[in-house]
Chain A
């Protein structure tokens, strides 16, 4: 009689699966419910962003950046134009800087709302998802009012923004913030402090700080592990050094530092900080022009630049090489979601199948940005 040898089952999660947040394929080796190895396979949403960029003019790259991280298009625009302006040494008007910050922070709230709501869906709670989408709609309405688009804005241009703010913008925006601030408590009551939710997230998928740094994880995922790193504070770009805001860090309130709950909680707190920034920016919003006069055809000087900005998902870097022509020689995008996804295999090993979904959700990946 030989010994009965258990075998591992290979399971393909995706590319069509309800909770892969896009078209991601995870190859999972399972022993019963326990997952022993995970390999993410990406590329299903590859749209040749970088190669495309080498064939269009500098302004025409901006719509492509929209489509990379389609949840936070404003922040993607922001990163690209900030990098371009630094390369060309353009100084944009004050009003533009403030509008950009307001839009970027509003989009950060919208992006975090989606991340948190979908995370609730991943662990099986349907109602918080709809509550958060209800409030996200209002932000999209503000964007629609401002630039006419609800998802892919193409709002920030090199040297300015495409439209000035609408007439009543300040009242509408403050109205939204006043409406939205108490809603955070509602989410906490409904989802965050639910015992089942805590059981599912606390202590699950711990990402230790050193592992996070080794993988190059950034943004809320890194801060969830307790590392104080935020490009807005540490390498201020645009006018972020003028605002007062805190950097929420994961404290392991219900488990270990760096668990799924911390990543979730950091996002929840960041929304409050974004509200603070928007309030300050609206208070100081100056009048003026919304577009700096720049040559019709953008011809940056020969050279290269790398600049990173803080998108809702982390350090969003643009590396641009210019050969002096109106068409970029190379545009490379450093995707924060890509690094976050690469750490999945490390932190989700040994957990159960349901936890893999919960951990994947807590990393808040957007496949459009990973595959580009």
Chain B
């Protein structure tokens, strides 16, 4: 089910190509939005519960009658979301109103449109572009503009600090992330998301599934560089300096409240899913089953993709509740002195390994 199929189908009904396009896009966009919203609720619940278990407490719980968070606190994220939606929407008097209002949407759109190229299973992809992975890397950095707008328009020094930090951080970490993706592209010879996944079918080394992470030691390193850079791009601990709670209050989001803040929140979780989705697609075989050949129907494909992505999201949550935060210059050192050179050497390594042994 891609947007192209839908468009063709609509186009057959009548001679209105523009209308067909708009209808097809809408039909794809609404489920994606619903998916993000529901996934965010699940992820927030997961974050609450996982963090609680790691911290020796039970997290949200509800019992008995009355106004409570449901069994095992299942309704807690719903209550949180409702609270955010019902909150008063404050725009500071000295803020740049237009930019202030626009910023959360730009951040969200950056995350939202990246979903268009994520392959959930064999058929479930909105647009299987021939430049799919390039497209995702490109649009997911759109959010930086929104963050800078948010920080600048808030007219608050803390926001400005947060915005400058996140701009520096996200732009820097794009580089090692993209470089490690190049290694994948070299092996697969395609930029299309489905193409990359199809390349990973079968076995490698006899027993392991032919996922790119297992294909050679350099791709193994590339996966870690990509994943850690991805965590940094999502502004998650230990790289959460843009919103460093103990230093910058809430970084670029300091002045935001209510629905606008909810959009930032939503895009943070959406970004986590995108990073996990790319990592799963490029390194962990996407919707391929871990035991090649069995359980490979589209239904199972969806299951494998989601469970792999959710596992990576769990790892991110695990990071967050374990590590302290890096300082801004240490963060840059890790990126420019550590990851970027290693990722570059990796490209050569992958190429040489592929030539000699592939």
Contact = CB atoms under 8 A, between A and B. Distances in A.
Interface of A: 9, 11, 17-19, 33, 120-127, 130-131, 134, 190-191, 194, 196-197, 199-200, 352-355, 357
A120 B55 CA distance: 14
Contact of A199 (B51, B246, B247, B330): B330
A190 B322 contact: yes
A357 B325 CA distance: 12
Contacts of A199: 326-327, 330
List 4 tightest A-B contacts by C-beta distance, closest first.
A124-B325, A125-B324, A19-B246, A130-B55
Interface string B299-335: 0000000000000000000001111111111100000
B321 A126 contact: yes
Interface stretch (B60-68, B236-244, B264-272, B339-347): B236-244
Given A124-B238, A127-B321, A196-B238, A354 B247 contact: yes
B56 interface: yes
16 contacts: A17-B249, A18-B246, A33-B161, A33-B328, A123-B324, A124-B240, A124-B324, A125-B325, A196-B325, A199-B326, A199-B330, A352-B328, A353-B161, A354-B241, A354-B244, A354-B325
Interface in B52-90: 54-57
Contacts of A33: 161, 328-329
Given A9-B157, A130-B56, A130-B57, A18 B245 contact: yes
Given A124-B325, A126-B55, A126-B320, 17 more contacts: A124-B237, A124-B238, A124-B244, A124-B245, A124-B323, A125-B322, A127-B54, A127-B321, A131-B56, A194-B323, A194-B324, A196-B326, A352-B327, A352-B328, A352-B329, A354-B325, A354-B328
A197 B326 CA distance: 8
Contacts of B328: 33, 352, 354
B245 A354 contact: no
A231 to B, nearest CB: 32
A25 B150 CA distance: 26
A77 B203 CA distance: 72
A357 B246 contact: yes
A127 B55 contact: yes
Interface residues of B, number: 27
Counting chain A CB atoms within 10 Å of each CB, the highest count among B54, B246, B322, B328 belongs to: B246
Contacts of A352: 327-329
Interface string B141-162: 0000000000000000100010
Contacts of B237: 124
A123 B325 contact: yes
Contacts of A194: 323-324
Given A124-B237, A134-B56, A200 B324 contact: yes
Contacts of A17: 249
Contacts of B157: 9, 11
Interface in B29-64: 51, 54-57
A18 B249 contact: yes
Contacts of A200: 324-327, 330
A16 to B, nearest CB: 9
B166 to A, nearest CB: 13
A326 B54 CA distance: 55
A127 B321 CA distance: 6
B148 to A, nearest CB: 16
Contacts of B56: 130-131, 134
A197 B249 contact: no
A126 B56 CA distance: 12
B205 to A, nearest CB: 32
Contacts of B247: 19, 353-354, 357
Nearest to A353: B247
A197 B324 contact: yes
A42 to B, nearest CB: 20
A274 to B, nearest CB: 23
Contacts of B240: 124
Contacts of A354: 241, 244, 247, 325, 327-328
Nearest to B321: A127
A130 B325 CA distance: 17
A355 B321 contact: no
B157 to A, nearest CB: 6
Contacts of B323: 124-125, 194, 196
A196 B57 CA distance: 25
Nearest to A356: B247
A121 B245 CA distance: 9
Contacts of B326: 196, 199-200
Nearest to B237: A124
Counting chain B CB atoms within 10 Å of each CB, the highest count among A126, A127, A191 belongs to: A126
B245 A120 contact: no
A355 B327 contact: yes
B329 to A, nearest CB: 7
B306 to A, nearest CB: 27
A126 B54 CA distance: 11
Contacts of A18: 245-246, 249
A197 B238 CA distance: 10
A203 to B, nearest CB: 12
A126 B319 CA distance: 11
Contacts of B329: 33, 352
Contacts of A126: 51, 55, 320-321
Contacts of A122: 246
Contacts of B330: 199-200
Contacts of A353: 161, 247
B32 to A, nearest CB: 32
